[in-house]
């Protein structure tokens, strides 16, 4: 079993800053309101540690992250880099609240103030998902027998957009992502892998949320659809949306990344016995 060592002087892609507390909606904040450091981060991760305990393997522990720190500011796309197994997906799951944290903070700036997702209760995490952060994964998980158009429109309807308007915007998004109209009334369960992924991207990009988590959104797309996703990311960036993503495709990564966080720099080191 490996354990962690003290965490001074760990590298980070940006200087650590403690964002001032406030209660303004992210999109109502001035673009630059903390002096020379640029916009106030929408997401500030600090001192984050994660160790998995595998109960079916006799409680074996696997330390994955130690003292992770980085920030995501409005209008930038921060990419998680590092080799396979470094902990990139784990970070997205920690931020989205799918995994519990062992230590540290995940401070999300929301319309009602700040919430530390590392310690927030389930209700606060669900509110953050509804109002502040979206998650676009490679895989579509949706209710069976619901038409693709409804699947894409649903996040808007849930947030109060009238059904007709939501469907119009869903149709535009499906068109941009080259899903032919003949498929819109069919449930996506029988679609090809790439079609399902594009339905998922359409659904994830449609709501206007201040932070988007992107887990390999271009993984199995052809060149044309990869370009469409890159364009969507650039539009979100221009709208001031902060994004945190994993992109294995180097070309896509180079086109969307404002900064890269080297996740391997935050791998726990075994303690060396004296």
Ligand X SMILES: Nc1ncnc2c1ncn2[C@@H]1O[C@H](COP(=O)(O)OP(=O)(O)OP(=O)(O)O)[C@@H](O)[C@H]1O
Q: Which residues of this chain interact with ligand X, rule CB under 6 A?
A: 52, 54, 62, 64, 82, 84-90
Between 156 and 246, name the residue whose CB sits nearer to ligand X: 246
Which lies closer to ligand X via its Cβ, residue 149 or residue 244? Answer: 244
- Burial class (CB within 10 angstroms; exposed 0-12, middle 13-18, buried 19+) of 64: buried
Q: Which DSSP state fits 44?
A: E
- The CA-to-CA distance between both ends of the chain, in Å, stands at 17
The smaller minimum CB distance to ligand X, of residues 26 and 221, is found at: 221
Q: Report which of 144, 255, 160, 142 is spatially closest to residue 203, judged by C-alpha positions.
A: 142
CB of 50 to ligand X, least distance (A): 8
DSSP secondary structure letters along 237-271: HHTT-EEEEE---HHHHHHH-SEEEEGGGGPPPPP
Q: Residue 249 Cβ, how far from ligand X at the closest point, in Å?
A: 12
Q: How far is the CB of 100 from ligand X (least distance, A)?
A: 11
Q: Which is nearer to ligand X, 9 or 57 (CB)?
A: 57
Distance CA 48, CA 174 (A): 37
What length is written for the chain? 274
Distance CA 32, CA 51 (A): 36
List the Cα angle 45/50/52 in 5-degree steps.
155
- Quote the least distance from Cβ 159 to ligand X, whole Å: 29
| CA pair distance 91, 68, nearest whole angstrom | 9
> Which CB sits closer to ligand X, 52 or 139?
52
CB closer to ligand X, 91 vs 151: 91
Shortest Cβ 140–ligand X spacing (Å): 18
Least distance between ligand X and beta carbon 248 (Å): 7
């Amino acid at each position: 079993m490996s354990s962690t060592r003290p965490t001074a002087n760990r590298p980070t892609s940006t200087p650590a800053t403690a964002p001032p507390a406030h209660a303004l909606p992210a999109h109502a904040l001035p673009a630059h309101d903390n002096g020379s450091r640029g916009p106030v981060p929408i997401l500030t991760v600090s001192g984050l540690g994660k160790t998995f305990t595998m109960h079916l393997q006799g409680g074996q522990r696997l330390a994955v992250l130690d003292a992770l720190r980085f920030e995501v500011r409005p209008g930038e796309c921060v990419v998680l880099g590092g080799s396979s197994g470094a902990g990139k997906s784990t970070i997205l799951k920690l931020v989205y609240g799918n995994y519990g944290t062992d230590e540290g903070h995940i401070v999300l700036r929301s319309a009602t103030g700040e919430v530390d997702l590392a310690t927030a209760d389930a209700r606060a995490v669900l509110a953050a998902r509804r109002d502040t952060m979206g998650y676009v994964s490679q895989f579509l998980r949706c209710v069976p027998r619901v038409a693709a158009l409804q699947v894409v429109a649903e996040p808007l309807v849930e947030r109060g957009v009238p059904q007709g308007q939501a469907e119009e915007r869903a149709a535009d998004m499906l068109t941009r992502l080259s899903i032919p109209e003949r498929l819109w009334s069919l449930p996506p369960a029988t679609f090809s892998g790439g079609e399902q992924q594009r339905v998922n991207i359409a659904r994830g990009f449609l709501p206007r949320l201040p932070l988007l988590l992107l887990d390999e959104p271009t993984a199995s797309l052809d060149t044309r659809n990869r370009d469409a996703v890159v364009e969507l990311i650039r539009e979100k960036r221009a709208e001031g949306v902060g994004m945190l993503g994993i992109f294995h495709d180097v070309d896509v990564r180079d086109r969307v990344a404002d900064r890269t966080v080297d996740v391997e720099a935050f791998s726990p080191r075994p303690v060396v016995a004296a």
